[in-house]
Every structure is written in structure tokens, then in C-alpha cells.
Amino acid sequence: MTATTEKYDVIVVGAGFAGLKAARELKAAGKKFLLVEARDRVGGRSKPGEIAGHTVDFGGQWVGPQQKLLLAEAAEMGVETYAQYADGKNILDVDGSIRKYSGDIPKLSLFSLLELGLLEKRWTRECAQLPDGAPWLSDKAEQWDAQTLETWILTHVKTSDARTFARVVSRAVFCAEPSQLSYLFFLEYLKQGQGLECLTGVKDGAQQDKFIGGAWQIPSRMAADIEEHLLLEAPVHYVAQSESGVTVVTEKGTFEAERLIMAVPPALAGRIQYNQPLPARRDGLTQRMPMGSVIKIHIAYERPFWREAGLSGMATSNNRAFNVVFDQTAPGVDIGILVGFIDSVHAVELSSYSEEQRRAGAIADLVHYFGDAAANPIAYAENDWTADEWSRGCYVGTMAPGTLTNYGKALRRPCGRIHWAGTETATEWMGYFEGALQSGVRAAREVMERNT
Amino acid sequence: MTATTEKYDVIVVGAGFAGLKAARELKAAGKKFLLVEARDRVGGRSKPGEIAGHTVDFGGQWVGPQQKLLLAEAAEMGVETYAQYADGKNILDVDGSIRKYSGDIPKLSLFSLLELGLLEKRWTRECAQLPDGAPWLSDKAEQWDAQTLETWILTHVKTSDARTFARVVSRAVFCAEPSQLSYLFFLEYLKQGQGLECLTGVKDGAQQDKFIGGAWQIPSRMAADIEEHLLLEAPVHYVAQSESGVTVVTEKGTFEAERLIMAVPPALAGRIQYNQPLPARRDGLTQRMPMGSVIKIHIAYERPFWREAGLSGMATSNNRAFNVVFDQTAPGVDIGILVGFIDSVHAVELSSYSEEQRRAGAIADLVHYFGDAAANPIAYAENDWTADEWSRGCYVGTMAPGTLTNYGKALRRPCGRIHWAGTETATEWMGYFEGALQSGVRAAREVMERNT
């Protein structure tokens, strides 16, 4: 390790969307800063990948029209969007039986559809009762945070199809089981994503558009802007605060600054050693915000055969492991590509299998959804986020019951010279790149207010 | 860091009861081993303390007649027991109103007592449905693991007093809120502790006896037996497995061994870096087993005035922070000492207060329970386990819903050359020194079976 006498205004830890955004804000304000990153790349939960000669996103990829910060950042970086392909019918697989439907509303029984409509109204009403940035202050916070989403479903959802739908949503949105989630956390997340329809929808929703060439280009270009301040392959092992500043011990050297922005998820921030152990509430939070579990899979075919069969390529299943699938064929691409996810407990289980086994399982699921034409792909590519040392899961840190009410206050509260960023700290679009950007701006403002 | 060419059969990480027991087993089998410990002392969640010139336990202290391994270990180490003082009446404070009662059964309404009796029978019956060492295989595992203990209480407990009692038990036994606990985990813990009466009782229960001179002497003397193999102040930063062995990087040097026993709680094991990131299920477990929160407080008086007033010194409260109190006056001690706990969310909150504030609050609570005679102590001593960097809470790692069924299998399953010990991995008396000792024996056997 090399010591340095140079002292920064701010050290930012983590070069995902949050850390990069904070860094750009600091640069704009003329601050002297350093951005350290454990990986050999920037982007965090955004990551480039490749299948059959085409670049794709191994990490997050969608953007909705409500996500203004992300759209603005992409525009500034010169990354354009295109619409998620959604023409034709979607597939819903419930207990092995295939149903085809158009639009966002699956083909369920009339009673189930009626119940889902009522459910969504109820959730909208309850979300509105959560004070911005402080859901734990809601009158019903204790009650909602004392139960799991599964308990809530069993109590309040009567039809089998509606229950199935609510559970599928939990897996697809949180990469976690409804048994693992606090109902209050579920509501807060729904609220931050402007409701269920927006969060889960394509048209007018969070899956409306993708980025030409990949979302990963955005952090990549953000990094180019602050390149001389960026230190890759520098995992942080130790953070020491004193009256005069903060010392950060990384694998690439030891650095000093006035303040630090920790732009990594709580679960990972908790794995760093601190000279003043974090306060009980903050350390407790890092023990209680486990990452969701997901394996992202791309499968390429000679042609987008599903389009020819009048299908959108979208499929959802309540019991198959490869349980959420979308068309991933970008404009101008002459082959067909599907993308999908192994979510939640399926990801935990299949992470220990071989790639060959996962490949065979994913293809079998696609054959079940789309027929025999899916049996012979030309390429397969996967990214197991549960095995990624510097994310330890995706998309986001989640909360079991009793966490938000008792530890929520620690999400953004600075600990001495340490300020917290990352999408888990967002007050809008937590879990999304949009929330990460918001948190980067907020944390940069925090340190600049204290530095003046 | 110093490199070494010496290769051990086994390196044990963590010199609490589990690690020390594993080390003693390895010594007895003639193995070449090293025991590394982050702290400057052995004992883990057992720790010596002092008040008014008397030695006390700042960590765990009680032993029940069912805890055969602990009693045997204590006897071998020459540490004797004495009975927890329990003569006279106990205090129960419910919402500010004091009730005095004798024995283990609090003074509740007849309906509440009837309901508690039924509850206990029901819990005993349900505990019996959990397969030993694999509660996730129970027919009702999914159902019980999908809800919080609080949800279960609201559904199955009708009288207000019985609800209060169940919540008080949760805080006292787990140092966690009933909203934070899986009902399946609650049952498994109850089962491992031979039922509610045994777990919470004094006479014939887990609080029946204490150790003359302190429980901390047991690990201290166990350590003396393996002194030349013990390395203190050596936090482990990195563990690297290869085909030929395992390398452990500590603050005191780098060491090689055939196998490793990790005898620290999952939450802390997860904070170590591994060259092969832990498998998804194991890493996921480390993200999902947060430590309970507790501050242990001793308060000394010139005389054990409560005894003279016909009180046992035992007090329990459902809404005061200093919510569980016992007589801590050892035989032959000429002053009076009370010991008690600030549990669960109260500990999280009060951890950020000053010692002076906690002292004033604890004394006020004692005055509420025992009268004005409690107002003028001669000494105060506390240990905030939530602030202890190498425990990050006490007594034990707990599980929210969805954890035991999905991650429980990872508790004891070795990861390559890494074997897991610690009270969280026990199949009897998880959370107690007894469970830690069982785990040490089991882990030592595991590595020896693989080494032959």
C-alpha cells in the first residue's frame, strides 16, 4: 500500500450510476475528489455483455418515461433509446398451462381481473399514505411493517389467479419471495415506482424503452468525463474517520479526504471495516438489507421466430425457473434475441448448477412458452448476479418485516464524515438507475453543504 | 504481514466457545492447528466485566440443567455454579402498572393464563413437527416461514395480556421484535431450547444457575489449554481456497492450512473476503441472519434491598427500555447487584445515547419496579453489544421470514475447505454457549473426517 500526502475534498466509493453521478457533480463544483471502484470496470449493476456478436446489457437495461434523470443523463451522454418490442401476444404460464393475451393485462378469470383492479386501487391508496422519504412515519407503518407481503396476500387476496399474479410480481420486481418482503417495504417500493402499472408495464411504464447499444454505455461515458479521478480495481478494506478527515485504505493505496460518499448497497458497505464501528442503527441496517437474487440470461436464434408467430416474446411463469422473458432484438439486428431472468429462490438454487444445466433448463422453458422453434438457439450467454462478489445479488437490497420502521432512518443519515448514496437510499425509483442518479446528486449536495 | 511456510492441518477462526471447543478437540486428536481471534481476548459473546470491585459477566452467564456440554466443560475447567436468586416475588410491568407474582407464571387475567397454557401446548406440539436439524423439511415449514411471529400472535392469540407476554418473550429471548422474526425460526429456537418454559424459566430452566466468578472463566481456561496455538488481535481479512489448501490473511500474518473452521456468526463471516466468493446460498445466508440487539447493564447498591422487601429482583416490562432484570448478587458478596438488559429496538435507539443518559434511564426504570430504594446506586457498568465490532449484536443471529426455508441448508454445509461453527449452526441450544460447544465438536469432527 502506498501512502499519499495529497488530501481530497471527497472520496467516492463505488463507480456505479450513483458514484459516477456524485463524481460528476463534484467535478462541476470544482471539488478535488477521487472515485474508487472494486471492479475492473465502472457501471455497478450495469454491465456490458455479448451474444452472437451483438452487444447487450448483462445488467439493468430499461427506462420508463417517468425516469427523467436517467433520460437526461443518457441524452447528455449521447445514448439514444428505442422501444421495447411488445407487438403481438404475451404468454402467461400458470402451473404449466399457457395463456396468450394482449397488452399489460393477463388473461385471468373475470373474478381475478376484478380483484386485481381493486387491489391496484387499494395499493395506490395505501402508497399515498406514506410520507415522502419517511414511510416509517405513516400511521399504519408499524402494522404494515409487521407482516410479510405473503401474509398480506393470504389475508387480502381471495382468487387463486390474483394471488399467483401478486407472487409473480414479487419475484419479477424484487427477485425475492413475497415471504421475504415487508408489506410496508413493498408499498414504499411501489410508491417510489409510481404504482404497480408503471413499475411492471411496458408502454408508459418502467420497461417502455431500452438504450441503443446498451444502458452500460451511460456509466461508461460518465466515467470518461471524470477519468483522471477514477481508480479501478481498488476494493476498499478500511475506512478511518478522525477529527481532521477520513482515511480510505484500498487495495491500490491509502487516501485521505475531508468527506466520503459510500455509493454501494448497504449489504456491501457493511463488509468494509471502520475504525469507529458504525452506529448500531446503521450497522443493523447493513445486516438487514439483503440483495435480491437473479441470473440474467440471453438466448439468440437465427430469426425472431416468435414475432412471425404473432408473439411479443414476453413470457411470465409462476413456477418455471426462467420466469420472465422479453424480446431483446435491437433494431437493425438480423437475428432474434430473447432475454430473461431466473429470479429469487430459483436463482439461489440454480446458481450452484453448471452453466450447461442452466442453459438446458432455460431452453426447455422457452420451448414450453414458444414451442419447438425455441429448441435450437445459436448462442447462450448468462450473468449470475448472485455470484458477483461486488454486487452479491440484484436488482436491489430488500427489506424483511421490522426493518424499515426500526432501521429506515439510517438509510441516508450521515455517519460523521461518511455519506450514503446508492439506489437503496433513493426516495424515488429505489432499485433503479434513476434512484441511483438521484442519490448521487443528493449525496454530492450533502458533502458540499458541509464543506463550505 | 509475514508469510509462513508452516502448514497447519486446521485453522480455526474465532475464539469464542465454539472455536475454543473445536481447538480442544483438534488438540486431543493430535492435529496441528492455529486458532485466530480478532479481539485481544478470548470468549466471544462471553466477556469479563467489573462493578464495584466485583467481577461479573458482561456477556452470557446462565446455565440450565439441560445444558450438558456446558456443565461438563465448566466442571472440567473447575468452574462451579450457584443458583440464580429467585426467592420472593417477581415484578411484571405492563403499560406502567406493576404486578407482583411468585414463580414463573406472571399475574395475568384468568383468560390470559388459560390462553398462555394453551399456547404453550400448541408450541410444544408444533415444535415436535420439526425434523431435527432440518426444520425446513416440516410439512408446514413454508407456511410458518412465510409469516412473522407478530402476525402469528395477532392471528392466534386473543387476550391482550397473552399477546403482551408473547412479545416480551420475543424481546427477552431474541433481542428482536416479533415483527422481525419468522414464526418457523421462533419454533425452531423454542424446540432447540426444549420449549418455552425451559428457555425462559429459572428453576429447571435455562436461567437456573450461574457460574461462581463468572462464565467468562470457562473460555479463559479453555484457552489456557491451547495457549501456544492461539493468536489474538488477528482479524481475518481474506480467505483463499485452492486445490492444495486454504490461505488465511490476518492482521498478524498469513497462514496456510488444509481446512478452516469459521467459528463466527454468519453476519460476521460474510464480512470476510473470499477468493472464491461464497456460493449464493451461503452468501445469501450471511446477508439474512442479523444479530439481535442488546445492552447489558449492571447496577450495584450498598445492600440487596429488594431481598429485604421480599422481592426476587426479577422484573420484566413490556414498554420500559431496561426491560429484563435479575438479581446478580453472588454468594459472599456484601453489596447488592442487579443485572438487566436493554433489548431489541430499545438497544438500537439507546446505543446512540450517552452512557450517562442510559444510566439515568435504567435507574428510573429500577425505581419504577422496586421503589425509591433503587434511586441511589453505588456503581453502574454497561456493555453495549450492538457497538461491539466483533459481535455486532447479541445474543444470536436471527432469521426473518423466508430465510430458514430458503437458506437454512447453508448453515452447516461446508464450502470447499471451509467448515462452519458457532452457536447459530447448532441443532440444540442455538443461541447459547451450549449450542456453540456442540458446533465446535461437530465442526472438528467434520474436518477430521475429511483429513483422514
Asked if A177's CB is within 8 angstroms of B402's CB, the reply is yes
| Minimal Cβ distance to A179: which of B235, B392, B402 | B402
| Minimal Cβ distance to A280: which of B270, B271, B351 | B351
Q: Cβ contacts (< 8 Å) between B145 and chain A: which residues?
A: 179
pLDDT at position A405, please? 98
Q: Cβ contacts (< 8 Å) between A147 and chain B: which residues?
A: 147-148, 150-151, 179
Q: Phi and psi for B225 in degrees, rounded to 5?
A: -70, -25
Taking phi first (over 0 means left), then psi (-120 to 50 degrees means alpha), and beta for anything else, what does residue A208 get?
Answer: alpha
Residue A60 neighbours by CB under 8 Å, 6+ apart: A45, A46, A215, A395, A432, A433
DSSP B240-306: EE-SS-EEEEETTEEEEEEEEEE-S-HHHHTTSEESSPPPHHHHHHHTS-PBP-EEEEEEEESS-HH
Q: Which three cell numbers stand for residue A188?
A: 414504499
Residue B184 neighbours by CB under 8 Å, 6+ apart: B135, B136, B138, B141, B144, B145, B401, B404, B405
pLDDT of residue B417 exceeding 90, the answer is yes
CA–CA min distance B419, chain A (Å): 18
Measured CA to CA, the distance from residue B306 to residue B88 in angstroms comes to: 9
pLDDT of residue A106 exceeding 80, the answer is no
Asked if B348's CB is within 8 angstroms of A406's CB, the reply is yes
Tell me if the bond preceding B395 is cis, omega within 30° of 0: yes
Query: In the predicted model, what is the mean pLDDT of chain A?
Result: 96
Taking residues A406-413, report their average pLDDT. 98
Of B407, B404, B411, residue with least CA distance to B439:
B411
* pLDDT tens readout for residues B165-220: 999 999 999 999 999 999 999 999 999 999 999 999 999 999 999 999 999 999 99
pLDDT at position A417, please? 97
CA–CA min distance A83, chain B (Å): 34
Q: Cβ contacts (< 8 Å) between B404 and chain A: which residues?
A: none
Number of residue pairs across A and B with CB atoms under 8 Å?
A: 148
B338 vs A4, more confident: B338
Q: Is A120 on the interface with B (CB under 8 A)?
A: no
Residues 93-112 of B with CB under 8 A from A: none
Please give the share of chain B, as a percent, with pLDDT higher than 90: 94
| Minimal Cβ distance to B406: which of A147, A345, A405 | A345
Burial letters A64-84, b for 16+ CB under 10 A, else e:
bebbebbbebbeebebebeeb
Residues 64-83 of A with CB under 8 A from B: none
pLDDT of residue B1 exceeding 50, the answer is no
Taking residues A311-336, report their average pLDDT. 96
Confidence of residue A107 (pLDDT cuts 50, 70, 90): confident
For residue A306, the surrounding DSSP H or E stretch is helix A305-308
DSSP B108-177: --HHHHHHHHHHHHHHHHHHTTSPTT-GGGSTTHHHHHTSBHHHHHHHH--SHHHHHHHHHHHHHHHSS-
B177, closest residue in chain A (CA to CA): A402
* pLDDT tens readout for residues B357-400: 999 999 999 999 999 999 999 999 999 999 999 999 999 999 99
CA angle (B436, B437, B440) in 5-degree steps: 90
Taking residues A44-67, report their average pLDDT. 98
Q: Name the β-bridge partners of A283.
A: none
- Whether the model clears a pTM of 0.95, i.e. scores above it, the answer is yes
Q: Is A176 on the interface with B (CB under 8 A)?
A: yes
Query: In the predicted model, what is the mean pLDDT of chain B?
Result: 96
Q: Phi and psi for A301 in degrees, rounded to 5?
A: -125, 160
Return the SS3 of B17: helix
Q: Is A387 on the interface with B (CB under 8 A)?
A: yes
pLDDT at position A4, please? 53
Taking residues A19-27, report their average pLDDT. 98
For residue B291, how far is the Cα from the chain centroid?
9
Residue A226 neighbours by CB under 8 Å, 6+ apart: A20, A23, A24, A27, A35
CA distances from B136 to A38, B141, B142 (A): 36, 5, 8
pLDDT at position B103, please? 79
Q: Which domains does chain A have, with CATH numbers?
A: 7-44+216-290+399-451 (3.50.50.60), 48-86+206-213+292-387 (3.90.660.10), 107-200 (1.10.405.10)
Asked if A402's CB is within 8 angstroms of B148's CB, the reply is yes
Asked if B284's CB is within 8 angstroms of A180's CB, the reply is no
pLDDT of residue A285 exceeding 90, the answer is yes
ipTM confidence score: 0.95
* pLDDT tens readout for residues A126-166: 999 999 999 999 999 999 999 999 999 999 999 998 999 99
Measured CA to CA, the distance from residue B395 to residue B422 in angstroms comes to: 12
pLDDT of residue A2 exceeding 90, the answer is no
Asked if A179's CB is within 8 angstroms of B146's CB, the reply is yes
* pLDDT tens readout for residues B236-255: 999 999 999 999 999 999 99
B68 burial (CB, 10 Å; 0-12 / 13-18 / 19+) is middle
Measured CA to CA, the distance from residue B153 to residue B164 in angstroms comes to: 9
Residues 328-347 of A with CB under 8 A from B: 345, 347
pLDDT at position A452, please? 52
Q: Which three cell numbers stand for residue B315?
A: 422484573
* pLDDT tens readout for residues A359-405: 999 999 999 999 999 999 999 999 999 999 999 999 999 999 999 99
